[in-house]
Structure formats: structure tokens, C-alpha cells
Amino acid sequence: MSARVQVSQLDPEIAAKLKRTPDGLVCAVTQQRGTGEVLMVAWMDDEALHRTLTSGRATYWSRSRQEYWVKGESSGHTQAVHEVRLDCDGDALLVVVDQEGAACHTGTRTCFDTEVLLGAPVG
């Protein structure tokens, strides 16, 4: 397990715009470039965002494993990052990617294709 970085190299101007949860995280919604398909939701701290912005590879903080993970590092289902946007409140990120393979840990294209609570069925 990798320890969480306490002092990040994230640009201070960007860091100042973030509104984090009490445990220092920001929600990251991942979307397919071109189609707008929502693929998944994960969490980033300042260091994960810094790594994403500087590497072009989506990097997240796993709350369950308590470690950083680069999407696709073990599965091969990578996310090439094309854009990262901050919402108007500073408490959520939109990560626009080219997804290679499944985005969901269950092996499906998106994490939002199993249960429809309101509206037309997915598919």
C-alpha cells in the first residue's frame, strides 16, 4: 500500500480552488470524450489530481484500499485524459477521457449500466 502524500506538488492556484471533503478528497466524475457517456465516479486528493494533470493518465485515491491507483495499471483498461474541469463550486471534477476497455471494476463499459431508478432502461 502506498501512503497518502501529505504535501502535494499540485499548483497552489488550483489547490486553492478545491473544496474538499473532511478527509481531503474531491469527487471526480469520469466521462468519455466525444460521446459524453458517464463512465465512473472516483475520488482524488491534491496529489492524485497533480499526477493526473502531469501524466495524462487518470489517477485516483482508493478509499477502500487507502492507496493511489492509476486506472488500467493492473487491468489494462486505461483512461487517457484529455481534459479536467472544475465545477462552479470547486467540489467536483470532470475528467474527460478516452476509455480503453471497461471502466467499471465489474467489467462493464460504465458503472451506470445496471439499475435505472427513473427513466428509460439503459441499452
pLDDT tens-digit series, residues 17-40: 999 999 999 999 999 999 999 999
pLDDT tens per residue, range 55-106: 999 999 999 999 999 999 989 999 999 999 999 999 999 999 999 999 998 9
**What CATH number did the domain enclosing 32 receive?**
3.10.20.810
For residue 67, the enclosing domain spans: 12-99
Cβ neighbours for 76, distance < 8 A, ≥ 6 positions apart:
100, 101
Return the pLDDT at 109.
94
Is there a domain that residue 6 lies in?
A: no
Q: Exposed, middle or buried: residue 68 (CB in 10 Å: 0-12, 13-18, 19+)?
A: buried
Q: How confident is the model at residue 115 (pLDDT cuts 50, 70, 90)?
A: confident
Instruction: Give Dmax over CA atoms of the chain in angstroms.
Output: 45
Is there a domain that residue 1 lies in?
A: no
Is there a domain that residue 70 lies in?
A: yes
pLDDT tens per residue, range 1-10: 468 888 899 9
User: Per the structure, how many domains does the chain have?
Assistant: 1
Measure the CA–CA gap between 122 and 64, rounded to whole angstroms.
Answer: 28
Is there a domain that residue 122 lies in?
A: no
Question: Nearest 5 degrees, angle CA 88-CA 94-CA 95?
Answer: 150
Return the pLDDT at 3.
80
State the cell numbers at 80.
Answer: 487517457
Measure the CA–CA gap between 20 and 12, rounded to whole angstroms.
Answer: 14
Is there a domain that residue 115 lies in?
A: no
State the cell numbers at 48.
Answer: 492524485
Is there a domain that residue 7 lies in?
A: no
User: Residue 28's closest CA among 101, 103, 121, 100?
Assistant: 103
Is there a domain that residue 34 lies in?
A: yes
Is there a domain that residue 57 lies in?
A: yes
Return the pLDDT at 33.
98
Return the pLDDT at 53.
98
Give this prediction's pTM: 0.91
Return the pLDDT at 123.
62
